[in-house]
A and B are shown apart, each in its own frame.
With several copies, the nearest count.
Chain A
Amino acid sequence: MNTTDTLWVILSAALVLFMTPGLALFYGGMVRSKNVLAIMMNSLAAMAVVTVIWVAIAGSLSFGDDLGGGLLGNLSLAGLAHIPSSLPGLSGVHASSLSVLLYQMMFAIITAALISGGTTDRIKFSSFVILIAVWTVAVYAPLAHWVFSPTGWLAHRGVLDFAGGTVVEINSGFSTLAVVLVLGPRKGWPRDSMTPHSVPLSLLGLGILWFGWLGFNGGSSLAMNGVAVSAVLNTQLAAAAGLIGWLIYERTTEHYATTLGAASGGVAGMVAITPCAGFVQPYAALIIGLIAGLACAKAVRMKFKLGIDDSLDVLGVHGVGGVIGMVLLGLFATKSINPAGADGLLQGGGFALLGNELLAIVVTASFAFGVTWLIAQAISKTIGLRVSEEDELKGLDLTQHAESAYSGGGSGRFSS
């Protein structure tokens, strides 16, 4: 065990863990004040439930010995009781295996939490908990095995994905789409005004996400080396360029530049750089971020035409941004940054990598959408996925959690 590498992985794990409360704030600020606790609670639930499921089984399904064909890991790591000094296929990694599993746990948590951005304001709390519990095992773990474990079939084919363009971003985007289609739009959407109740809360969330994302991408080198430094730098560059791209879109098409747009652009840039962070040069990171900012700004405006109430744009930002990142990785990847990577089309590597990336996009989107749709349908048909109309009107904070986010005080209502 290399202690510096382990320290880097542990630090990155802490940063990724911190992203989930950051996401809770980012999302919480965007909903109406009657639903802010409910959506934050979804993130808290992910922090608790996914942790337990990861330790119990999902971590092992992802990183245990391959059961065959690169399709799934076995239960050798279940309970994290007996951890080999290096995980299957990761013998080149000198960070402690346990630290790697801890770090990867944080990815599963935030990916599950992302789904709440689509389902907010109407999903039953208990159903959300069941949804993400099943989904972590049935959707997340297989995808993580395919891509993040070197023994997985996509990784084995040569698919590159530095920190989760597929497993985290495309997966969350298309999984959310599936749940949203089963759930239906919010009552009153899009006619009623559903403005963010606290944009500063969302900007704070963005700040935490940005901070954490440096570890999210940086830590994926699983070692403190030049690749890690590049990954951190590229994340910063793509966030900046994404922010600028989104604002350019707004200014040129709609004559204003919003703070929520800036925040969303920063996220879009970081989403897109996620698969690329340790494989591309700084100039490419700027291009990738800029394109993602522009494209995701456009994408989130299309849901109104499609009539899909993906409330906080998980598909538009994470799904679309993830696809963009994977495609552009096929163009910009270069071994000069990471010898363990590959050269993309524009780096003289031909179409091989691009083909692999496209395959991974299609596979991830289809698998995530399909299986999640089945899970959502099953829950919907049994215990129900959605609160009653009356409860939705009153707000989920009161009706799901018996709480008000903000209260004045006296008589439970007036400041005294």
Chain B
Amino acid sequence: MELKLITAIIKPFKIDDVKAGLKAVGVDGLTVTEVHGFGRQRGHTEVYRGAEYEIDFVPKLKLEIITNANQVDEIVNALVASAATGSIGDGKIWVSPLETVVRVRTDERGSDAI
């Protein structure tokens, strides 16, 4: 069975909703990274003793999910449904091909490792 990596950038405060949305479609493993995004969404201004700084990097979370190819659509849809707020900066999802997956504990490979 082919394997895919789904990467999603989301707004941090949506993490609980997204977790729930993913659980509903059978995802029970993922890896989260705190990242900063730059895009259409405006950042903010900070001021320290009169020195103004434009901060255009916005805190985001990156989710990585490895999955069987046949589940990709369902998961992407669940991500979109649970992460969207409708306002700019909701984030991106991208899907990449994988060649192998291994479970470290057991050395299982492929779909069994997920």
Contacts and interface: CB of A to CB of B under 8 A. Distances in A.
Interface of A: 30, 190, 192-196, 250, 254, 256, 258, 260-261, 264, 297, 300-301, 304, 313, 393-394, 398, 402-404, 407-408, 410-416
Interface string B51-86: 101110101010000000000000000000000000
Q: Is the interface of A mostly helix, strand, loop or mixed?
A: loop
A29 B36 CA distance: 23
Contacts of A196: 48
Contact of A254 (B13, B47, B53): B47
- Which among A30, A304, A402, A403 has the highest number of chain B CB atoms within 10 Å? A402
A411 B49 contact: no
Nearest to A192: B16
A402 B61 CA distance: 23
Contacts of A408: 34
A408 B46 CA distance: 13
Contact of B55 (A194, A256, A261, A412): A412
Contacts of B48: 30, 195-196, 258, 260, 403
A190 B51 contact: yes
A416 B46 contact: no
Nearest to A263: B49
A410 B55 contact: no
Contacts of A300: 49-50
Contacts of B57: 411-414
- Which among A193, A258, A402, A412 has the highest number of chain B CB atoms within 10 Å? A412
A416 B13 contact: yes
Contacts of B34: 408, 414-415
Contact of B47 (A190, A256, A313): A256
Given A256-B47, A415-B12, 14 more contacts: A193-B53, A261-B49, A300-B49, A394-B44, A398-B46, A410-B16, A411-B15, A411-B57, A412-B46, A412-B53, A412-B55, A414-B15, A414-B32, A415-B34
A407 B36 CA distance: 13
User: Which 4 pairs, one residue from A and one from B, show the smallest C-beta to C-beta distance?
Assistant: A416-B13, A301-B50, A412-B55, A416-B12
Interface string B70-112: 0000000000000000000000000000000000000000000
A276 B98 CA distance: 71
Given A398-B44, A402-B45, A408-B34, A414 B50 contact: no
A304 B49 CA distance: 11
B46 A404 contact: yes
Contacts of A261: 49
Contacts of B47: 250, 254, 256, 258, 402-403
